[in-house]
Amino acid sequence: VTDSLWCYRCDETYPRSAGARCDCGEPLWFDVDPTYDPARHADESGLGRYRDLLPVDELRGLTSAAGGTPLIRTDRLDDVAGCRIWVKDEGEHPTGSFKDRGSAVGVADVLARGRTAVGTVSHGNMAMSVAAHAAAAGLDCAVLVPADIPPERLAIIGQYDPEIIRVDGDYGRLYEVSIRIGERLDIDFLNSDVPLRVAGQKTTTLEVVDAFRPDAPDAIVMPVSSGGHASGAWKALRDLRACGALPSTPKLCFVQAAACDPVATAFRDGTETVSPVTGGETIAYSIANADPPSGARALAAARDTDGAVVSVDDDEIREARTRLARGAGLCVETASATTLAGARRLAAAGVLAPDDRVVLVATGSGFKESTATADAAAPSVPLAGLDATLAARFA
Ligand SMILES: [Zn+2]
């Protein structure tokens, strides 16, 4: 357990009271003690297994339910992608997404410090996750959503009874503004790339690496939006490397939707920083972040690990979502399907080899999205005709 923050770019260390950002403007990470031994808490479930690399010690109640998601060998997707595919199914979390990892660490820390209120800026998975964890812990919770949020999503968030506030204005600016207001009002905003949340989100990659020991996978592919999860993946690899516990470095590959791909654009252009874009519409709306707060860190993560950042269009995403359902039995969030489409592109470009062991991080469940289309060709038969119908189809 550690209590200081560190900037990857300047190598500066700060006390945790310094907040979320370095003086250089980059987000900070929690520092760790480089004496971690993967075998030490290996018999524990969930995030408790990684307590030596996390800023919290005590995980109980709902916070003990995060992590430990299945890693599934999906060999029927190998031909689709052009490499050997495993899927890390983050949709198995209590609120159906990887966000529960960060919310668990955030809420556990808030409880440990005796504070009473959390908040977040989100109209999707993170809002549901923070609201659920706050409800379970008996904390007050503020969820700031855009004024035009669809009613069905408001209903899912609302069931946990947080204080939902629709905010009219520049939703992008709200990210920083909320953290400043929270500091004044004693509300801990667990936004997408704050150090506590990123610490929790390291554990996706820690679990993936542990599952392949004594080796490591050749690549990990994940969607990138704010860059919080991507930077968590990089930090996980760096922590393991610092502790002598990383067998080899998997390539970190990130995927964006082509309609809104500031990180992929910066990667292609060879720049060190990510410039905001004017994002267009995409079916992968939950990763359409036009000005990602951890974009530069995601970019550095891809380059440091010999990985890549690519973008895929909506047709490729739709096709990948169908393949994940029909070839692997997985109902993933549309944004998560970008990983299969991205792996396919990376294999075609030679970044991934046919023998490579590649893990797609399916960040969220598709069961919260009403994207399924009814099979219009499904026959309707009287009970008496069932025998003949099945015989005609399966004989
Ligand atoms: Zn810095």
> How buried is residue 318: exposed, middle or buried, by Cβ count under 10 Å (0-12/13-18/19+)?
middle
DSSP tag of 222: E
Q: Is 388 helix (H, G, I), strand (E, B) or coil?
A: helix
Cα of 327 vs centre of ligand 1, distance in Å, is 44
Cα of 313 vs centre of ligand 1, distance in Å, is 34
Cα of 293 vs centre of ligand 1, distance in Å, is 14
Task: Please give the C-alpha separations between residue 49 and each of 38, 89, 102, 174, in angstroms, as whole numbers.
Answer: 8, 18, 15, 34
Is the peptide bond preceding residue 38 cis, with omega within 30 degrees of 0? no
Give me the mean pLDDT over the 8-28 stretch: 92
pLDDT score recorded for residue 378: 80
Contact criterion met (CB below 8 Å) for 118 and 187:
yes
Cα of 36 vs centre of ligand 1, distance in Å, is 25
pLDDT score recorded for residue 194: 94
Cα of 27 vs centre of ligand 1, distance in Å, is 8
pLDDT score recorded for residue 172: 79
pLDDT score recorded for residue 374: 55
d(CA 221, CA 362): 9
Contact criterion met (CB below 8 Å) for 321 and 286:
no
d(CA 320, CA 328): 11
Q: What is the widest separation between alpha-carbon atoms in the chain?
A: 76
Say if residue 371's pLDDT is above 70: no
Cα of 298 vs centre of ligand 1, distance in Å, is 15
Residue range 253-273, pLDDT digits in tens: 999 999 999 999 999 999 999
Cα of 21 vs centre of ligand 1, distance in Å, is 8
Bridge partners of 72, per DSSP, are 87
Give me the residue label for tokens 């075609």.
Answer: 348
Contact criterion met (CB below 8 Å) for 51 and 109:
no
- Single out the residue of 360, 270, 275, 274 nearest to residue 312, CA to CA: 360
Cα of 26 vs centre of ligand 1, distance in Å, is 5
Cα of 265 vs centre of ligand 1, distance in Å, is 23
Cα of 144 vs centre of ligand 1, distance in Å, is 28
Cα of 122 vs centre of ligand 1, distance in Å, is 26
Cα of 28 vs centre of ligand 1, distance in Å, is 8
Cα of 325 vs centre of ligand 1, distance in Å, is 43
Cα of 185 vs centre of ligand 1, distance in Å, is 27
Give me the mean pLDDT over the 34-55 stretch: 91
Entry pTM: 0.96
Cα of 103 vs centre of ligand 1, distance in Å, is 25
Cα of 184 vs centre of ligand 1, distance in Å, is 24
d(CA 334, CA 134): 27
pLDDT score recorded for residue 350: 97
pLDDT band per the 50, 70, 90 thresholds, residue 376: low
Cα of 230 vs centre of ligand 1, distance in Å, is 18
In sign, the C-alpha dihedral spanning 91, 111, 199, 258 is positive
Cα of 2 vs centre of ligand 1, distance in Å, is 19
Cα of 13 vs centre of ligand 1, distance in Å, is 9
Alpha helix segments (H runs only) across the chain: 78-81, 99-112, 125-137, 151-158, 174-185, 195-201, 203-212, 228-242, 262-269, 295-304, 314-328, 334-348, 386-394
Cα of 394 vs centre of ligand 1, distance in Å, is 63
Give the angle subtended at the CA of 114 by the CAs of 25 and 140, to the nearest 5°. 80
The one-letter amino acid at 153:
R
Give me the mean pLDDT over the 17-42 stretch: 89
d(CA 22, CA 10): 8
Cα of 19 vs centre of ligand 1, distance in Å, is 13
Bridge partners of 309, per DSSP, are 254
d(CA 368, CA 139): 25
Cα of 22 vs centre of ligand 1, distance in Å, is 5
Bridge partners of 255, per DSSP, are 223, 310
Give me the mean pLDDT over the 157-166 stretch: 97
Least confidently predicted of 17-31, 127-141, 339-353: 17-31
Cα of 301 vs centre of ligand 1, distance in Å, is 15
Give me the mean pLDDT over the 190-211 stretch: 96
Give me the mean pLDDT over the 315-328 stretch: 97
